[in-house]
Amino acid sequence: MDVESTLKGKLGSQYTKLEKLKNPHVNEFIAKYILHCQPDSVYVFDGSAESVEYFRKKAVEKGEEKPLAMEGHTYHFENYADQGRDTKNTRYLLPEGWDLGKLNSIPKKEGVAEVMGFLKDSMKGREMIVAFFSLGPEDSIFSRSCLQITDSYYVAHSETILYRSGYQNFLKIADKKDFFKFVHTAGELENYVSKNIDKRRIYIDLEENTVYSTNTQYAGNTVGLKKLALRLAINQACHSDWLAEHMFIMASHGPGGRKTYLTGAFPSACGKTSTSMVRGETIVGDDIAYLRIIDGKIRAVNVEKGIFGIIADVNSRDDPVIYETLTSPGEVIFSNVLIDDTETPYWMGKDGECPKKGINHSGQWTPGKKDKDGKEITPSHKNARYTVAISDLKNVDPELDNPEGVEVGGVIYGGRDSDTTVPVEQAFDWVHGIVTKGAAIESETTAATIGQEGVRKINPMSNIEFVAVAIGDYVKANIDFGLNAEKQPMIFSVNYFLKGKDGKYLNGKEDKRVWVKWMELKIHGDVKAIKTPTGYIPHYADLKKLFTEVMKRDYSLEEYNQQFTIRIPELLAKAGRIEKYYKETKNTPEEVFTELTKQKERLLEYQKKHGDYIKPEQLV
Kindly list the catalytic residues.
Answer: 270
Distance, in Å, from the CA atom of 564 to the CA atom of 530, rounded to the nearest integer, reads 11
> Which residue in 520, 496, 500, 490 sits closest to 424, CA to CA?
496
Contact at 8 Å (CB) between 346 and 338? yes
> Which residue in 174, 169, 165 sits closest to 140, CA to CA?
169
Cα of 365 vs its chain's centroid, Å: 31
Helix axes 3-11, 24-37, angle to 10 degrees: 70
> Which residue in 530, 536, 554 sits closest to 544, CA to CA?
554
Tell me the Cα Rg of the chain. Answer: 25
Cβ burial 153-192 (10 Å sphere, 16+ → b, else e): bbbbbbbbbbbbbbbebbeebeeeeebbbbbbbbbebeeb
HEC assignment per residue over 61-119: HCCCCEECCCCCEEEECCCCCCCCCCCCCEEEEECCCCCCCCCCEEEHHHHHHHHHHHH
Contact at 8 Å (CB) between 283 and 430? no
Contact at 8 Å (CB) between 91 and 105? yes
Strand pairing report for 259-265 and 73-76: unpaired
Distance, in Å, from the CA atom of 616 to the CA atom of 557, rounded to the nearest integer, reads 10
Q: How many CA atoms lie within 13 A of 440 on its CB side?
A: 32
Which residues, including other chains, have CB under 8 Å from residue 63's CB and lie 6 or more apart?
Answer: 192
187 phi and psi angles, rounded to 5 deg: 75, -165
Which value, to the nearest 10 degrees, does the dihedral of the CA atoms of residues 41, 44, 48, 54 take? Answer: 30
Instruction: Name the helix (H) or strand (E) containing 181.
Output: strand 180-185
* Three-state secondary-structure class, residue 121: coil
> Which residue in 80, 90, 121, 77 sits closest to 200, CA to CA?
90
Contact at 8 Å (CB) between 243 and 291? yes
